[in-house]
Every structure is written in C-alpha cells, then in structure tokens.
C-alpha cells in the first residue's frame, strides 16, 4: 500500500525521462523500471564501462528541496560504504538541470512482489539473506526504515539484493524527521514505534522483515485496512492472525520466528538481525534434514550454535530451538509520543498524535473524525 504523493508532487508520467537521454555524459537510459514516491528508476547503460546499471532520478520537486537533496546525498554515501553481496551497490551520484540522480547496480530479476506464497524453507533462506544485509547496515549505524517486498530483489539462484535505502537514517533517530507531506516508511510494513513517530533502532527493521516473512509464507500481510492510519493503528494495538488460521500446513518453528519479530515491544523481538538470521538458517536446516533433502548454505554450521539470547533488560530468554519471547504481549512499548500498551482512550489519542506526524499525507480531518471505538476487529494484546 503506497502513501499518496504530497501536494505539488505532480504526475510521475509528466516527469519521466525520455528513452536514450544521457546523464553526466555517461549513463544512457534504456527503459523505465519503476516509479515511486521519490522518483523514477531506469535501466541505463554505462557507456564508459559498457555495462547495465540502474539509474534513479529524483522527482523535480524533491530535487529543488535542498534539505531533501542533502539527506539523499548523505544516505547515498553511507549506503555506498556497505559492501555486501546482498545489498545493491551504489556506483555514482550526480545532478544536473533534470534533477539529482543515483547510479546503482542493476539486478536482473523481479522483486518479491512478483512471487506468491513461497515454500517455508525457501522463504526462510530469502529472509536470512535480507537479515544478513540489514545486519551489516546496522553495524554501520544505518537503519533501512522501509523494508518491504518491493525493496527486495531476487536475482539468479535466489540471490537476494536489498535496495532503496533512500529513507535510511542513523540508529536512534526519530521518525518525524521527514519532509512535510511524506510518510517515513510504508504503512503495511511499519513497526509500532514508527507508527507513533517514535525513536527507532535495528529492531524496527527486524519487525518490518517479520511482516515481509509473514506475507512470504501466508500470501497476505498480517494487517490490512481501508486507510494507512487504520493499518498503522493495528501495528500498534493488534495481534496478527496465527499461521494455523491461514496455512495449517506450516511448521510451528517458522511461526515462532515470525511472531518473535512481530512482538510489539522491541525488547521482546530479536535484538539483532544476526540472531534472526541464525534461527532462520536453523529452521531451514532442520526442515531439510527432516525431509531428507540435502542441506544447503550455512544451515549445518549454524544449527550447532546455541540459540539462547539476552533480552533488552539483561534477562536470559529460554528460546529453545527457535526464538520466541517469554511474554510476547506483557511489556509495553515506550516512545517519545506515547506509552503504547492497552488500547485505552488516552493511548489511542497519543497514537493518533504520532500518526499525524508520521502519516502526514493523510488529511488531518480524517484522523480527527475517527472515533476511539472504530478500530477494525482484531485480537488485542492481553485479551487472548
């Protein structure tokens, strides 16, 4: 689900670059690959090195926003330092009268959006590669903030490439640092702390990857609604349907991993992408061993690694084979916007206040009109 473009953004079709245009006397456009809120992406040809590249051109109105351009350049430079086989490489950065542009590695393959539900082992291995990529970014103090299927490319031999760190930011930054009229992240994949405009860290990306993995194996995201505000509200207050309700054939181990990611309190999630990746590889190894398949990748080595971890309060978590929080719904999320716990009237008013910051593309009158008792039916924390 995409947010609406901010006022003055213009129609993407009116800002497309013509076929054959050349940028920086080097990059010649071949065809448009995609169009998003911040600009367009093209397949282009690097005429100097004679290789295909992906060219992202910022929308004209954003290219005129100096604060946005400065951030675009800053995060491009930060991402360019992330040398990892599962992260799309950035080759160049520039600008001219047509706007700012970024030149990236071209991945000849679709995004996860092109796939239906994946077999559990394949989904686990795809998610493990994403977690590996995010782990490196987190080590460099960079949070992606927009992990979603359209930002996960699948190349040959199922090699994953994570792309579009365009709204990435440093660990501990608030999610209200965004141009007026724009949202930070995509509602379907927002973490609860993003939804209320709170401070985020690596565990926010882990939550979003959990949403992606949930959708990879069930075919539907955990939360849906008729508005971005409705979806974001569910991320804060609701529990997703269990796998048994959607796909009873799925192994319980994978559900344990996903539900650990989707814990409302960051302290109840995996504390690092490396923890999540290790459990995904353990699960894949166990499933392949149980079915007599030849284990692939690093599963065998990881399977021998202890799974116990320490939570955010220094308490040992008896997670067993796959991580699962001890009390998944008892802790409450604390953010600068609100203390999010039970869906009380006070909490919902505070959450709405945060949503006005993060989801500012929604007319404020629509949010004010929403009544506290109008939330969509869902399983609330502490009611099961």
Of these residues, 146, 233, 279, 286, which one is catalytic? 146
155: DSSP letter = -
A 10 A CB-CB count for 334 gives: 16
Residue 136, both tokens: 């490196």
Count of alpha carbons within 13 angstroms of residue 248, beta-carbon side: 1
In the chain, where does DSSP find H-type helix?
60-63, 66-80, 120-139, 192-195, 202-218, 228-237, 243-246, 252-261, 273-290, 299-303, 345-358, 364-369
**Residue 300 burial (C-beta neighbours within 10 Å; 0-12, 13-18, 19+):** middle
Smallest CA-to-CA distance from 48 within 88, 95, 91 is with: 91
Closest CA to 194 of 347, 71, 355, 36: 355
Give CA–CA dist 10/60, Å, rounded.
9
Q: CA–CA separation, 75 vs 91, rounded Å?
A: 13
SS3 content of the chain, % helix, strand, coil (to 5): 40, 15, 45
CB 184 within 8 A of CB 168: no
Contact predicate 210/188, CB 8 Å: no
The verdict on whether 249 is a catalytic residue reads: no
Active-site residue set: 146
């Amino acid at each position: 689900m995409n947010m609406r473009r901010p006022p003055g953004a213009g129609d993407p079709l009116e800002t497309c670059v013509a076929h054959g245009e050349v940028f920086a006397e080097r990059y010649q456009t071949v065809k448009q690959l995609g169009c998003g809120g911040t600009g367009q992406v093209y397949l282009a040809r690097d005429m100097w090195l004679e290789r295909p590249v992906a060219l992202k051109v910022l929308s004209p109105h954003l290219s005129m926003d100096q604060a946005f351009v400065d951030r675009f350049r800053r995060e491009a430079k930060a991402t360019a330092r992330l040398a990892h086989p599962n992260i799309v490489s950035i080759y160049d950065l520039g600008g001219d009268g047509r706007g700012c542009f970024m030149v990236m590695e071209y991945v000849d393959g679709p995004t996860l959006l092109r796939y239906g539900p994946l077999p559990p082992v394949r989904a686990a291995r795809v998610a493990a590669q994403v977690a590996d990529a995010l782990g490196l970014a987190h080590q460099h103090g960079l949070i992606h903030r927009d992990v979603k299927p359209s930002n996960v490319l699948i190349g040959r031999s199922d090699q994953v490439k994570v792309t579009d760190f365009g709204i990435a930011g440093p660990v501990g930054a608030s999610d209200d640092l965004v141009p007026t009229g724009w949202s930070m992240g995509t509602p379907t994949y927002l973490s609860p702390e993003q939804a209320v405009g709170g401070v985020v860290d690596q565990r926010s990306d882990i939550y979003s990857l959990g949403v992606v993995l949930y959708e990879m194996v069930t075919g539907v995201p955990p939360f849906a609604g008729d508005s971005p505000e409705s979806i974001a509200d569910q991320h804060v207050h609701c529990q997703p349907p269990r796998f048994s309700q959607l796909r009873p054939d799925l192994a319980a181990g994978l559900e344990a991993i996903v539900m650990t990611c989707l814990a409302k309190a960051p302290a109840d999630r995996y504390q690092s992408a490396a923890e999540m990746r290790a459990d995904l590889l353990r699960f894949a190894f166990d499933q392949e061993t149980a079915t007599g398949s030849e284990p692939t990748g690093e599963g065998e080595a990881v399977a021998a690694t202890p799974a116990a971890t320490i939570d955010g309060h220094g308490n040992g978590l008896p997670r067993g084979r796959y991580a699962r929080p001890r009390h998944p719904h008892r802790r409450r999320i604390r953010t600068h916007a609100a203390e999010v716990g039970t869906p009380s009237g006070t909490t919902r008013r505070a959450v709405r206040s945060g949503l006005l910051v993060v989801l500012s593309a929604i007319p404020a009158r629509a949010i004010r009109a929403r009544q506290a008792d109008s939330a969509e039916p869902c399983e609330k924390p502490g009611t099961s």
